[in-house]
Amino acid sequence: MNYRHSIIGILLMLLAGSAYSEGAASPEGLWKAYDDDGQITGFVRIVKENGIYTGVIEKGLPEDREEKYCTACKDERKNQKLIGMTIIKNVKASGEAYAGDEILDPFSGNTYKVKLKLKDAGKKLEVRGFIGFSLFGRTQIWERVDHG
């Protein structure tokens, strides 16, 4: 009987440790961004400052031969270089996800509310842009390149 309780105790500790490590992960780091069709579009670095997450385009693709600009943008980012552009703004932890004011699609110039959720032990990031309610939107899966 003690043996059975020991195994159950060990399993519970392992499960608790697994849940803790999943919860301890954050979206901070460098992410390989994909579009809705699963094509790589570039690399976005997400940083945290004072509890708020921001995402900036850090680099484009190796085959990009010239700098790209946000010609479709409708705000102060219009005609600005994509590299260095902030595309995710004012994101905060919200339960098991992260929710924020804005994600910019630099190819259409449209902005959406954003929800981020870590997947696959923090190796993937579900990025959902939506208008109004999260039910009406698009989801992309980004892959982690590094944590720092």
> For 40-62, what is each residue's pLDDT tens digit?
999 999 999 999 999 999 999 88
Classify 23 as helix, strand or coil: helix
CA-closest candidate to residue 60, choices 38, 85, 78, 28: 85
Question: Left if phi > 0, otherwise alpha if psi is -120 to 50, otherwise beta: which for 101?
Answer: alpha
pLDDT of residue 48: 97
The answer to whether the beta carbons of residues 147 and 29 sit under 8 Å apart is yes
Q: What is the mean pLDDT of residues 61-90?
A: 94
Instruction: Tell the CATH topology of 26-146.
Output: Lipocalin (2.40.128)
Residue 70, pLDDT above cutoff 90? yes
Cα 50 to the center of its chain, rounded Å: 18
pTM reported for the whole predicted model: 0.80
